Amino acid sequence: MEQIRDFNNEDLNNSQKAVIDMMIVDPESEPELNEKMIKRAHDAIKMTETFLTQLASRNKTWMDLEVGPDQYLKLRNGMIAKSIRDLITILHFIDHETYGFHVTEKKNDFADWIFVTYKNRELAIKVRKSESRDDAISQLESIK
Q: What is the pLDDT of residues 25-52, one digit of tens each?
A: 555 666 666 677 777 777 777 776 665 5
Q: Give start and end residues of each alpha helix (H) in the chain.
A: 2-5, 9-23, 31-58, 84-93, 96-102, 109-118, 121-129, 133-141
Provide the whole-model pTM: 0.59
Q: What is the pLDDT of residues 51-105, one digit of tens each?
A: 556 555 555 677 778 889 999 999 999 999 999 999 999 999 999 999 999 999 9
Helix, strand or coil for residue 21?
helix
Q: Contact 39/31 with Cβ under 8 angstroms?
A: no
Residues β-bridged to residue 81: 73
Domain segments of the chain as ranges: 2-59, 63-141
pLDDT at res. 78: 93
143 band by pLDDT with thresholds 50, 70 and 90: confident
Q: Contact 128/108 with Cβ under 8 angstroms?
A: yes
